[in-house]
Amino acid sequence: MTQATEAARRREPKALRREQLINATIDSLAKRGYAATTLADVADGAGLSRGIVNFHFASKDNLLTETIKFLQDEYTANWQAMLSRAAPDTVSQLLAMVTADLDKKICTPRKIAAWFALLTEAKTRPSYHQLAWERDEKYRTTLASICRTAKQEGGYRFDPQSTADAIYAMQEGLWLRMMLFGRSYRRETALSVVLDILSTIFPKHFAADGTPLKIHEEDHQRR
Amino acid sequence: MTQATEAARRREPKALRREQLINATIDSLAKRGYAATTLADVADGAGLSRGIVNFHFASKDNLLTETIKFLQDEYTANWQAMLSRAAPDTVSQLLAMVTADLDKKICTPRKIAAWFALLTEAKTRPSYHQLAWERDEKYRTTLASICRTAKQEGGYRFDPQSTADAIYAMQEGLWLRMMLFGRSYRRETALSVVLDILSTIFPKHFAADGTPLKIHEEDHQRR
DNA sequence: CGCTATTGAATGAACGTTCAACAAATTTGT
DNA sequence: ACAAATTTGTTGAACGTTCATTCAATAGCG
């Protein structure tokens, strides 16, 4: 590296270097898996020297905790933003939730792989477990409340919490499929599966061909 | 250990000792996770000495491959047996498939945890990947064919393959939930979520209260 | 010059694998 | 029938490697 770029690199603020290392961590998790990810891999991936991670993150454990926190923050911020930007009708809200989960920004092979690599270890790591639980709870309760509204609007018989659980579980299952069989199972495939099942579960909210319908409430009250 | 029991232990055939070590591996994977599972853990768990695994399995890698193979064989054999024992009507077949997935024998905390621990590493290990793919394909195509029959019987509009994918993904998602939040999310909870969503997806096959109905061949046309 | 970021070599712990020694079981020879 | 020889299963110590962490030395910055 030339001295000019070396100087420029050195001037980067701390937060940027941390993010750079977190990204190298995600890369390594996706490429090599949890067990085979070493600090040397991460440092090499970031183009930096061996001791650098312990300087910025104190320990490998902490680096991984910060990585899962990064992924979880990005995930939650993304669906919450998409939800608030969506139209207020039930179908739009529902679609916002499920397309956020499969959003191009979130749902990349490397991020999915890294997420599962960390999540699987969450069982034995309290700090990961806590983060997984938070992600879960927020999304799940929001989805359940949308299902409750939809039930009133469509006069459905299902139990809203149970249906929300089923939809959420299905999405996590599709993530798993994408992680394992990403070559044949992509975002677009998963999205069409989700849309199909939604139009089956909420038939009054979708046309026969699956087109979303906005339901107007003459005799229903919202939220 | 007394000499008598020591002698008895030594007489156990090779296959039994292998299964004993595989079980200790599942225990360790569930308790400590993939990364922290060592051969010393496995040997200690089985109450045997350090070098024993390399004698029976040649390498750690091979032990783990045999473990995932063991779990996958048990899983597949279980649902195929339950399916063949079930009544021939569509609802019974469908229920056999989904209850097999959540069967008490298969769906234990330790087996779920071990399965995910190994599966997550499958991305980077061709031999695991192959096994995961096999498990997937068999179950998925069987489920799709049942959905196809149900569609004819109930005059549903859904795409059978897509619906089967959604159901299967949901089940894997519920496994993930059980792994992560096993204290609050158990087999019984997951099962009720599955049954709820099935009666939503196949309304003609279930009564309003969710009771399964056997459909007879008169209803075959419509829409 | 003090301060902060970075480097890379040194350290020590953990782990998979190997192997010589031993013990039990089984086969062979007489 | 029984001892010797051989095979099979098991042990635990030794070995070499890998890895996270530490730290003294260094370089850029204001």
Could you report the per-residue pLDDT of B155-176, keeping only the tens digit for each?
999 999 999 999 999 999 999 9
Residues 128 to 157 of A: which have CB under 8 A from any B CB? 129, 132-133, 136, 156-157
Between A90-104, A205-219, B118-132, the lowest mean confidence (pLDDT) is in A205-219
pLDDT of A5 reads: 55
Set of chain B residues whose Cβ sits within 8 Å of the Cβ of A120: 33-34, 116-117, 120, 179
Q: Which two tokens stand for residue B39?
A: 């051969």
- Of B121, B167, B201, nearest to A33 by CB-CB distance is B121
Mutation target vs B (from A180, A198, A201; most B CBs, 10 A cutoff): A180
Do B193 and A113 lie within an 8 Å CB cutoff? no
Confidence label for A1 from pLDDT (cuts 50, 70 and 90):
very low
Minimal-distance CA residue of chain B relative to A158? B200
Between A52-56, A160-164, A209-213, the lowest mean confidence (pLDDT) is in A209-213
pLDDT of B87 reads: 96
Contact A83, A92 (CB under 8 A): no
Tell me the per-residue pLDDT of B198-213, one tens digit each, with 9 for 90 and over. Answer: 999 999 999 988 788 8
Cα dist from A6 to A43, A48, A107, B180, B205, whole Å: 16, 11, 33, 44, 69
Burial, B6: exposed, middle or buried (Cβ in 10 Å; 0-12, 13-18, 19+)? exposed
Helix ranges (H only) for B58-186 are 60-85, 90-101, 109-122, 126-154, 160-181
- Overall average pLDDT of the B108-130 stretch: 94
Minimal-distance CA residue of chain B relative to A119? B180
Report, in ranges, which bases of strand C sit under 7 Å from a protein C-beta.
5-10, 14-20, 24-26
Q: Is the dihedral of CA A199, A200, A203, A208 positive or negative?
A: positive
Helix ranges (H only) for chain A are 3-11, 14-32, 39-45, 52-57, 60-85, 90-101, 109-122, 126-154, 160-180, 187-201
Q: Which two tokens stand for residue B70?
A: 């063991």
CA angle at A100 for the pair A98 and A105, rounded to the nearest 5° = 145
Set of chain A residues whose Cβ sits within 8 Å of the Cβ of B193: 162, 165-166, 169
Dist. CA A110–CA A107, nearest whole Å: 8
Ordered structural domains, chain B, with CATH: 1-58 (1.10.10.60), 64-219 (1.10.357.10)
Tell me the per-residue pLDDT of B40-66, one tens digit each, with 9 for 90 and over. Answer: 999 999 999 999 999 999 999 999 999
pLDDT over 50 at A170, yes or no: yes
Confidence label for B220 from pLDDT (cuts 50, 70 and 90):
very low
